[in-house]
A and B are shown apart, each in its own frame.
Chain A
């Protein structure tokens, strides 16, 4: 996703001279191409994320389209109030990119895990919150966000995420899509972790008749309520939410709340798969932590089998 971001933002900056890229002393060499085409529109703001966020607000108030890029906790939790006031309250046209989200930086420890960023950024009025599930979707979102008014937060992974949205005909902010069709159970996911669900469902095929649909809810705010209403009509017995993020303020709790208000029958059962409400200090690779925290392919597989 990082690579796609770098390529896409460089291509956009070639076409548009209002795009300014701000980075917080990360991504060595990553933005060399960007610096080549627009040296004066790349600002390395140093390891000073709080001021970087407000500087972006000021650039936006001067008619430019700043894109702020650094490691997720440092562009969300670290500078929350700057994002809330300088960007959110001012409805500033700032695109905020958090890289290495969720457990992408698993082995870097609690300082680099971001299991709260959707909650934090989602609490800011006017702020769009997006968690694209692959580089393809990120490309569409980035393009669109730079053409909309108001701020957008985009949470991305690291590298090597498989493409899972190539069949979707219309990718846009505020619209959810089915990635895999099915009739009994609905899995709603955000971000690259949806791939764990795809793998689990594929594996399940040989041992079970259950028909499972998978949908992406990558646009968390705004949420696609028309899509959700359609899903309610389709009478899935169970909805499973899946996210590499905590429950509080995440996608799962938003779905639960939405169903509480909108599912008149009250017969849909929900299961929320997310990270626990605790810091993680027993470290390892991302796939190790996903397994430890019960959000990986095998956990989903067993859960589906048991339903």
Chain B
């Protein structure tokens, strides 16, 4: 399957629409983590529309690329992405947050929602699972690539650095990690709670092919992914500088939107900013 070339303007349009859908669902179904979702929209849109080798109609074909949302609390945006890419009927998302639905705050294990490769939500699991999949590809002589999206706060976890060392020692160049570096975690600045910086140098010193980009810029996302694939010795990390709550002025870089649910006024303000009405 070949991946279509999609223009940046088209990707921006999709991003805006998915922001709208995610905020709407949060407002209607009281699902939190909006700030966390909005910071990684461009990354997910680029991956799902221009990078990953996937087939929505055969979501578990063997040679597909694997994508793991290691920051599992970003599930609301991933669900919208999968629906928009036709992994399932987008009407299903109308049940989000309802009793009896599979669509809540985190991705369930595979088999319940097409396109989900692993249950995440407990931080520090998705990345080592992705590493296992990349190692599996190597052992099974498969050419698929594995991608994991981590959050900066998630890099507090020991499993992240344990896995970083293991991936490097196994030269897993088929593994690409993207970090949604929005500078916040749940209760404060990620560089203050733990000495996270210099993040790029940390990954470099752990033996990774390391790049730093603007995580809202499609050209930079594209180029970094091309570079990652060129390197055939090391696993690759792309540190994407992002803004938590990106796209809605009053949510941007305001960590209250980690948990906050938009009320009616805030929802209609957001619609205005997205030029939906």
Q: Name A residues whose Cβ lies closer than 8 Å to a Cβ of B.
A: 23, 25-28, 44, 46-48, 50-51, 73-74, 78, 107-112, 279, 281-285, 288
Partner of B102, one of A73, A282, A285: A282
- Give the Cβ gap from A147 to chain B, nearest Cβ, in Å: 29
**When chains A and B are docked, how far (Å) is the Cα of A51 from the Cα of B157?**
9
Contact (Cβ within 8 A) A47 B157: yes
Q: Known A-B contacts: A48-B194, A281-B102, A285-B99. Give 8 more (CB < 8 A).
A: A25-B156, A25-B187, A46-B156, A46-B193, A73-B122, A107-B104, A109-B106, A284-B98
- Give the Cβ gap from A40 to chain B, nearest Cβ, in Å: 16
**When chains A and B are docked, how far (Å) is the Cα of A219 from the Cα of B264?**
45
Report the nearest B residue to A77, measured CB to CB: B122
Query: How many residues of B sit at the interface, in one of the four size bands?
Result: 20 to 34
**When chains A and B are docked, how far (Å) is the Cα of A282 from the Cα of B99?**
8
| A73 proximity list for chain B (CB < 8 A) | 122
A-B contact pairs, 5 of them (CB 8 A): A28-B187, A46-B156, A46-B194, A112-B106, A281-B112
- Most chain B CB within 10 A, of A47, A48, A283, A285, is at A47
| B158 proximity list for chain A (CB < 8 A) | 48, 50-51
| A28 proximity list for chain B (CB < 8 A) | 186-187, 255, 258-259
**When chains A and B are docked, how far (Å) is the Cα of A23 from the Cα of B188?**
13
| B101 located at the interface, meaning its Cβ lies under 8 Å from any Cβ of chain A in the complex | yes
Inter-chain residue pair count (beta carbon < 8 A): 86
Given A28-B186, A281-B108, A288-B99: A109 and B153 within 8 A (CB)?
no
| B235 located at the interface, meaning its Cβ lies under 8 Å from any Cβ of chain A in the complex | no
Report the nearest B residue to A31, measured CB to CB: B187
Report the nearest B residue to A30, measured CB to CB: B187
**When chains A and B are docked, how far (Å) is the Cα of A282 from the Cα of B113?**
12
Given A28-B255, A107-B105, A111-B106: A46 and B153 within 8 A (CB)?
yes
- Give the Cβ gap from A49 to chain B, nearest Cβ, in Å: 8
Partner of A282, one of B72, B100, B194, B258: B100
| A282 proximity list for chain B (CB < 8 A) | 100-102
Contact (Cβ within 8 A) B156 A283: no
